Structure 1
Amino acid sequence: MPLPRFTRIAPEQREHILAVARGAFAADGATSASYNKIIAAAGISKTTAYQYFDGRDDLLKTVLDDLAARLALVLGSWTPATGAAQFWTELTAASQRLITHLADHPQDRVLAAHVPLESTTADQWLRALVTDGTRLGVIRTDIDPELLHAATASVLAAADQWILARWAATADRSPDTTAVLRLLAGLWATPTDKLPHTKGQ
Structure 2
Amino acid sequence: MPLPRFDRLPAERRELILGVARRHFAEHGTEGASYNKIIEAAGVSKTAAYHYFDGREDLLVAVLDGVLERLLDALGPWVPARNEADFRSRFTAGSASLAAHLRDHPEDLALADAAIGRTPAGPWLDWFGALVTDGQRLGVIRTDVDHGLLVSVTAAVIQAADAWALARMTTEPLAEAADLPEGEASAQLWSLLHGLWRGAATAAATAAGEDPTNAR
CA deviation after TM superposition for structure 1 residue 27, in Å: 2.5
Q: 1:158 to 1:100 in 2, by over 3 A?
A: closer
Contact 1:64 1:114 in 2 (8 A): yes
Counterparts of 1:178-193 in structure 2, within 5 Å, are 178-189=187-198, 190-193=200-203
CA–CA distance in structure 2, aligned partners of residues 112 and 168 of structure 1: 18
Q: Which amino acid aligns with 1:135?
A: R
Match of 1:135 among 137, 159, 170: 137
Contact 1:113 1:161 in 2 (8 A): no
SS in 2 for 1:115: helix
Name whichever structure is richer in helix by fraction: 2
- Whole-angstrom distance in 1 between the partners of 2:156 and 2:149: 10
Deviation of the 1:75 alpha carbon = 1.4
Distance in 2, matches of 1:57 and 1:156, equals 28
**In 2: Cα distance, 1:74 partner to 1:151 partner:** 20
Q: Secondary structure at the match of 2:80?
A: coil
For residue 48 of structure 1, report the CA deviation from its aligned partner: 1.7
Deviations 1:85-143 (A, max 9, x none): 11111111111111222222222232223321636332221111111111110001112
Q: Is the Cα–Cα contact under 8 Å of residues 2 and 53 in structure 1 kept in the other structure?
A: yes
Aligned to 2:16: 16
Q: Out of 120, 124, 127, which is 2:126 matched to? A: 124
Structure 2 unaligned segments of length 5 or more: list them.
208-216
Cα displacement (A) at 1:52? 1.9
Letter in 2 for 1:193: A
Per the normalisation by structure 1, the TM-score is 0.84
CA spacing shift, 1:151–1:105, aligned 2, 3 Å: closer
Amino acid at match of 2:196: L
Aligned-CA RMSD value:
2.5
Contact residue 113 and residue 164 of structure 1 kept, 8 A: no
TM-score, normalised via structure 2 length: 0.79
Structure 1 gap segments, 5+ residues each: 197-201
The change in CA–CA distance for 1:67 and 1:99 in structure 2 (over 3 A counts) is same
The one-letter code matched in structure 1 to 2:187 is T
